[in-house]
Amino acid sequence: MASVVSTEPKTRVTAAPQPKSELGTEVLAPTRREFLYYIWGASMAMLLGGSGAAIVWFALPRFKEGTFGGVFNLTAARVPQPNGAPTSIPEGRFWVSHTANNELVVLYGVCTHLGCLPKWSLSNHRFECPCHGSKFELDGLYIEGPAPRSLDRFETTITFTDGSTAASNGTGDPIPLEGRTVLNVAINTGKRIKRNGKV
Ligand code: FES
C-alpha cells in the first residue's frame, strides 16, 4: 500500500519569546500569586493612608480663631463694667456679662425656647426675647416666659495680669474675678454648656 506523503510545509512550534527590557534582560511576568500579593499590598496602603488622613482631619481644629465654633480672645477693653450692660459679640453669637458680684459669664445669645435672639433691655436691665417674651437676668438666669431653661454659656478661661487664670466649671457658673485685673478672656464657642432647667 502506497504511503501518503504530505505536501504541507512543516511548521515548527517554538515558545513565545519573553519580553526584554531595554538592558536586554528578560522581564518576567508576575505569577498569579504575586499579582494578588501586589493588589493586597496596594489595598493595605490605601486603607492605612485613608486612616491616617482621617486621624489628621479629626485632630486638626476645624474652626479658625475668631469665627463661630472656634475660640475668641477678648482684651480687657471688651469686658463690661460690673452690673453694666453686657457686651455683645455678634460674630461669636455671645454676650459677655459682668455681674454685680464681680463675676464674668459668657452667654450664648440664642433663646433656649425656639432660637430667637434676646436683646438687652437697658430700661429693664435684663435680656428680653422678642419672639415669645422669655426674660433672663444679666447672668443668663431664667426669669419668666416659655423658655425651658436659662441661657446657655460658653466655656471661658480668664487670664489675669498677675499671671493667674480662672476657668468655667462644668455648669458654666459665673467666674469670680476676686479683685484681679483681667488681661484676656478666651471664649470657646465650640463648647456650649447647657444649664439644668431654669437655674
Ligand atoms: S424664642 Fe425666645 S421666647 Fe420663644
Q: Note whether residue 169 is domain-resident.
A: yes
Give 31's pLDDT tier (boundaries 50, 70, 90).
confident
- Ligand 1 contacts CB of residue 135 (under 6 A): no
pLDDT in tens, 98-154: 999 999 999 999 999 999 999 999 999 999 999 999 999 999 999 999 999 999 999
For residue 167, the domain's CATH number is 2.102.10.10
Q: Note whether residue 4 is domain-resident.
A: no
Q: Note whether residue 43 is domain-resident.
A: no
Higher pLDDT, 182 or 15: 182
Number of H helices, E strands in the chain: 1, 12
Q: How far apart are the first and last CA of the chain?
A: 121
Written as nine digits, the cell of 82 is 460690673
The mean pLDDT value of the chain amounts to 86
Half-sphere exposure of 11 (CA within 13 A, CB side): 4
Q: Which domain holds residue 95?
A: 71-193
- Ligand 1 contacts CB of residue 104 (under 6 A): no
Q: Note whether residue 2 is domain-resident.
A: no
Residue 115 CA: which ligand 1 atom is closest?
1
Looking at this protein, which amino acid is placed at residue 28? L
Q: What is the number of domains present in the chain?
A: 1
Give 20's pLDDT tier (boundaries 50, 70, 90).
low
188 CA distance to ligand 1 centroid (A)?
24
Coil, helix or strand for 161?
coil
- Ligand 1 contacts CB of residue 119 (under 6 A): no
Q: Is 26's pLDDT higher than 90? A: no
Q: Note whether residue 24 is domain-resident.
A: no
pTM of the model: 0.71
Reported for 72-81, long-range contacts at CB under 8 A and 24+ positions apart, including other chains, are: 72/186, 72/187, 72/189, 73/184, 73/185, 73/186, 73/187, 74/184, 74/185, 74/186, 74/187, 75/183, 75/184, 76/181, 76/182, 76/183, 76/184, 78/185, 79/104, 79/182, 79/185
Written as nine digits, the cell of 10 is 512543516
84 CA distance to ligand 1 centroid (A)?
24
Percent of the chain with pLDDT over 70: 77
pLDDT in tens, 45-56: 777 766 666 666
Q: Note whether residue 100 is domain-resident.
A: yes
9 CA distance to ligand 1 centroid (A)?
100
Worst-scoring range by mean pLDDT, 33-37, 89-93, 130-134, 152-156?
A: 33-37
